[in-house]
Amino acid sequence: MKVLKFGGKSLASEHTFKNVIQIIENKSKESEIVVVVSAIGDTTDILENIAELAKNNQDYQSTFNEFKERVYHKDINLEAEFQLLSKLFEGVSLIEDCTPKIKDLILSQGEIISSRVLAKQLNAAQLRSVSIDSRDFIITDDSFGNAIVDESLSKSKTQNYFNELPLKIIPIVTGFIGATQKGETTTLGRNGSNYTAALLSNFLKAEELQNYTHVDGIFTANPDWVKNAQKIEELHFEEANELANFGASILHAKTIIPLLENSTPLRILNTLNPKNAGTLISAKATDNGIKSLSLQSDVSLIQFEGRGLLGIVGVDARVFTSLANEGISIGVISQGSSERGLGFTVKQSEADKAIKALQKEFEKDLYTKDVSGISLIDDIAVLSIIGQDLSTFDKPYAALVKNKIIPILFNNTVTGKNVSILVRKHEAKKALNVIHGQIFGVAKNINLALFGHGLVGGTLIDQILATASSIEKKKNIRLNIFAIGNSKKVLLNENGIGKNWREDIKANSENYQIQDVIRFANENHLENLIAIDNTASSSFVDNYISLVQSGFDLISSNKIGNTISYSFYKELRETLKRNHKEYLYETNVGAGLPLIDTIKLLHLSGENITKIKGVFSGSLSYIFNNFSIQDRPFSTVLQEAIEKGYTEPDPREDLSGNDVGRKLLILARELDLKNEFQEIKIQNLIPEELQAIDTPAFLKGLDKLDSYFEKQKQDLVPGTVLRYVGELNGDLQEEKGFLETKLIAVPINSALGQLKGSDSLFEIYTESYGDNPIIIQGAGAGAAVTARGVFGDILRLADK
């Protein structure tokens, strides 16, 4: 025999009702069944609300009429229940009081109505069934509202009752309600229907209790809050009990206990997806490990502080006794060894009462200032990691801090594996997602805001979208682009911008300030935030500090942030350190080539890098590699470099030598040299009259450059070619290095003379390597290689 229990949501609509009937039909063909029901939909809340209106002498009648219309069913006469309710509400309204006893009688009608309605519907569907009132056999004490079941009496009564039932009739039993020995109606507390079903499963020795809900089972976290929460296939009773104790709303601690006697398995199933196997809770051992995260957001934190409490015996006892006297239960408790302060949680609904009780108890101590404050923090949520001990707690904790969520306090159980963390309510969803991603190894969400969607930025977006799903499979990292912005407008989507981003930008982007993007990320509880600067803008760099302070890591292909004043360079690094954030910019020198990382490692390991020289610019490499040996005007070759995406948005950044200068400065600063941009000796290749005009005018008149460069070529000694080079000389002992860029002639058969395409070449001279430099060579410019380099930085950060 199996017991099937259907919750209120399963009975709430015509559609779900049909599913219930179908499930009952199928299950009754497999084995004998007993069905337990909750009240339909939110009937219990509605009845409670009507009673409250009546008690307060407010208009309850219209809500009651609405209720009657909602539960009315044409084939079933509910007049007796409605009349009883009507009399009860009238009485409550007259005496302006609703005692727990009356309230139980009112609420019980919800389950009575639902069992009658379901039985009627089943009979109409040719499934013989009968509505059964559990008050006939579930016997309780008279603690109305949360009555204690007399299990042995209830067991024998239940067994006798069911022995008398005719065979082949499906019993539809009211959950939640019972009766005292005197026959007074009681209720078993919220979630009591599950308890009734568990009791019946035990008393009738069911082979399984199947609890039909509106979800596929128990998940590693509430799927409404954590998108990639995973269903748990199996749990041991003890683990389920822990989950229930820590507030997993789908389970009720009371439900598990009756099942232990006969080790009756409990399966959590979905009425709307009945083929899913759900979660099985049984006595079978499962792999030990973290099982689930739960969140309680209806709590408040009380802070009790006092200077004069150190060493005084009995203060905690007074705190807890005064609350116990008011029937207030305490959740998480924390007290430091200084004994100066005690923090603990209570239900939010009881917080004011708790404060009043404490103020009364400590009235004198408050006056003498031995107790200096009793205060309340209301916007609190308790996040519990069930199955977590402190040996591996460093990871979720560090992930929280990295996401700028600093727990208010945390607490672990001495035995068992549970850690509870108190966070601000508005941070709870983000905290849950951060910890979930960290401990379950399921795809970690990395939320990206991309600024600049030109050549590099646009290519990067396409690369990310094309590979996101394979990265998720291979690396368990889910890259979610939630913002794409240019200098004026931004497109935002917390669920991820897709392949049609170019059209979406046209249709849906809005004017913005950086604070709008930050606010959007916060409001949508987005974690692991990275801002990526693929602009060439100096004004965008102004946003770096606020982005870091708001919890973003940074990545840039833009070199400006690293090459404005040294004081900004330092300020940014200090801000990053203070906020536990990172800034990666591997593409700043040599595009996709692994140059910066190599220099960083060499320098960090104490290697004295004395010189770096070579061809730093991919575009200038392309231009001079071709122009030196081809009989084509300079402007034609330059135009080609622009079209291939090698140059800066304004190619004068390259021709002026500034871009090479920036790269030298970036490397110098990696070596702890404190140079400023103005100190670099730069050879500018742009004729003076073309230096001050605007970009479109410059681009229109590229041929004005031809005669100057033709002359440079003609002056070359035969067997040599032109190369634009950069050189950095520095030393560990020195504060500043010597940085220079210039156009030179080199032998055509030298390493520099042999460069092809847009290749850059870097020679790194160090003390240990002596005269044989480390050489890094390869494509030094181009949207595709640069975007790949930025992508590499994203994955590096995502892995941390």
Ligand X SMILES: N[C@@H](CC=O)C(=O)O
Binding mask 455-474 for ligand NAI (x = CB under 6 A): xxx-----------------
Binding mask 131-160 for ligand X (x = CB under 6 A): ------------------------------
Q: Is 541 helix (H, G, I), strand (E, B) or coil?
A: helix
- Write out the binding residues for ligand NAI, residues 565-594 only, by CB under 6 A: 587, 591
Q: Which residues of 421-449 are buried (b: 16+ CB within 10 A; e: fewer)?
A: bbbebebbbbbbbbbbbbbbebbbbbbbb
Q: Which does 626 bind (CB under 5 to 8 A by kind): ligand X, ligand NAI, none?
A: none
Least CB distance from residue 672 to ligand X, whole Å?
A: 23
Quick one: which of 28, 186, 403, 557 contacts ligand NAI (CB under 6 A)?
557
Which region among 60-68, 307-315, 556-564, 708-716 touches ligand NAI (by CB under 6 A)? 556-564
Chain mean position to CA 480: 12
Q: Is 57 left (phi over 0), alpha (psi -120 to 50) or beta?
A: left
Which region among 172-180, 533-541, 700-708, 724-732 touches ligand NAI (by CB under 6 A)? 533-541
Q: Which residues of 310-341 are buried (b: 16+ CB within 10 A; e: fewer)?
A: eeeeebbeebeebbeeeebebbbebeeeeeeb
Q: Which does 558 bind (CB under 5 to 8 A by kind): ligand X, ligand NAI, none?
A: ligand NAI
Which region among 152-160, 459-467, 542-550, 614-622 touches ligand X (by CB under 6 A)? 614-622
β-pair type (609-615, 759-766): antiparallel
Closest CA to 342 of 381, 383, 314: 314
Q: Which does 617 bind (CB under 5 to 8 A by kind): ligand X, ligand NAI, none?
A: ligand X
Residue partners of 152: CB distance under 8 A and separation at least 6 = none
C-alpha count within 13 angstroms, C-beta hemisphere, residue 499: 4
User: Would you say 537 or 720 has its CB closer to ligand NAI?
Assistant: 537
User: Would you say 100 or 594 has its CB closer to ligand NAI?
Assistant: 594
Closest CA to 559 of 651, 479, 659: 659
59: exposed, middle or buried (C-beta count within 10 Å: 0-12, 13-18, 19+)?
exposed
Which region among 78-86, 403-411, 452-460, 702-710 touches ligand NAI (by CB under 6 A)? 452-460
CB 496 within 8 A of CB 445: no
Is residue 618 a contact residue for ligand X (CB under 6 A)? yes
User: Would you say 234 or 648 has its CB closer to ligand NAI?
Assistant: 648
User: Would you say 211 or 534 has its CB closer to ligand NAI?
Assistant: 534
Least CB distance from residue 528 to ligand NAI, whole Å?
A: 22
- Write out the binding residues for ligand NAI, residues 750-789 only, by CB under 6 A: 781-783, 786
Tokens of 59: 């208009």
- Phi, psi dihedral angles at 22 (to 5 degrees): -65, -45
Q: Which residues of 106-141 are buried (b: 16+ CB within 10 A; e: fewer)?
A: bbbbbbbbbbbbbbbbbbeeeeebbbbbbbbbbbbe
Of all residues in the shown chain, the one whose CB is closest to ligand NAI is: 454
Is residue 780 a contact residue for ligand X (CB under 6 A)? yes
Least CB distance from residue 714 to ligand X, whole Å?
A: 25
CB 492 within 8 A of CB 511: no
Binding mask 293-332 for ligand NAI (x = CB under 6 A): ----------------------------------------
Alpha carbon distance 449, 47 (integer Å): 48
Closest CA to 355 of 409, 312, 301: 301
**18 carries an active-site annotation:** no
Catalytic hit among 227, 663, 736, 800: 663
Is residue 646 a contact residue for ligand X (CB under 6 A)? yes
Least CB distance from residue 598 to ligand X, whole Å?
A: 17
Is residue 660 a contact residue for ligand NAI (CB under 6 A)? no
CB 176 within 8 A of CB 108: yes
Q: Which residues bind ligand NAI (CB under 6 A)?
A: 451-457, 485-487, 534-537, 539-540, 557-559, 587, 591, 618, 645-646, 648-649, 781-783, 786
Q: Which residues are catalytic?
A: 663
Q: Which residues bind ligand X (CB under 6 A)?
A: 591, 617-619, 646-648, 654, 659, 780-781
